[in-house]
Amino acid sequence: MDTNRRNFLKVAGISTLAGLGGTTIVNRLIAGVDEAHAAAAAGAEMEQKAAETIRYGLVIDIKKFQQDPSLGEKAVNACHQIHNVPKFPEKRDEIKWIWMTHFENAFAESPNLYQDEANQTHLLPILCNHCDNPPCVRVCPTKATYRYEDGIVGMDYHRCIGCRFCMAACPYGSRSFNWRDPRPFIENINRDYPARTRGVVEKCNFCVERVQAGLQPACVEAVGDSKALVFGNLKDPNSEIRQILKEKQTIQRNPSLGTIPSVFYIV
Amino acid sequence: MYDSGKIIAGLLIFVLFVTIPVWYNRGSAGAVPDLELPKDAKTCVLPAAEIRAEHMKLLNVWRDEVLRDGERGTFEVDGKQYQKSLMLTCMKCHTSKVRFCDRCHDYTSVNPYCWNCHLAPVE
Ligand code: SF4
Ligand code: SF4
Ligand code: SF4
Shared domain for A144 and A195, answered yes or no, is: yes
Shared domain for A137 and A196, answered yes or no, is: yes
Instruction: Provide the whole-model pTM.
Output: 0.81
pLDDT in tens, chain A (267 residues): 445 656 766 776 676 666 666 555 456 555 555 555 554 554 455 445 446 799 999 999 999 999 999 999 999 999 999 999 999 999 999 999 999 999 999 998 888 888 888 888 999 999 999 999 999 999 999 999 999 999 999 999 999 999 999 999 999 999 999 999 999 999 999 999 999 999 999 999 999 999 999 999 999 999 999 999 999 999 999 999 999 999 999 999 999 999 999 999 999
Evaluate: CB of A140 within 6 angstroms of ligand 2.
yes
Q: Is A109 part of any domain?
A: yes
Query: Count of domains in chain A?
Result: 2
Shared domain for A16 and A59, answered yes or no, is: no
Residue nearest to atom 5 of ligand 2 (CA): A140
Please tell me the distance between residue B108's alpha carbon and the centre of ligand 2 in angstroms.
32
Q: pLDDT of B60-94, one tens digit each?
A: 999 999 999 999 999 999 999 999 999 999 999 99
Shared domain for A205 and A76, answered yes or no, is: yes
Shared domain for A141 and A254, answered yes or no, is: yes
Q: Is A40 part of any domain?
A: no
Shared domain for A12 and A89, answered yes or no, is: no
Task: Tell whether A246 is within 8 A of chain B (Cβ).
Answer: no
Set of chain B residues whose Cβ sits within 8 Å of the Cβ of A157:
117
Shared domain for A108 and A66, answered yes or no, is: yes
Evaluate: CB of A11 within 6 angstroms of ligand 2.
no
Chain A with chain B: Cβ pairs closer than 8 A: 35
Q: Is A240 part of any domain?
A: yes
Q: pLDDT of B22-65, one tens digit each?
A: 888 776 666 788 899 998 888 999 999 999 999 999 999 999 99
For residue A202, the domain's CATH number is 3.30.70.20
Shared domain for A205 and A97, answered yes or no, is: yes
What value of ipTM does the predicted structure carry? 0.79
Q: Is A46 part of any domain?
A: no
Shared domain for A70 and A200, answered yes or no, is: yes
Task: Tell whether A158 is within 8 A of chain B (Cβ).
Answer: yes
Q: Is A45 part of any domain?
A: no
Range of the domain at A9: 1-30
**Judging by DSSP bridges, how do beta strands A56-61 and A263-266 pair with one another?**
parallel
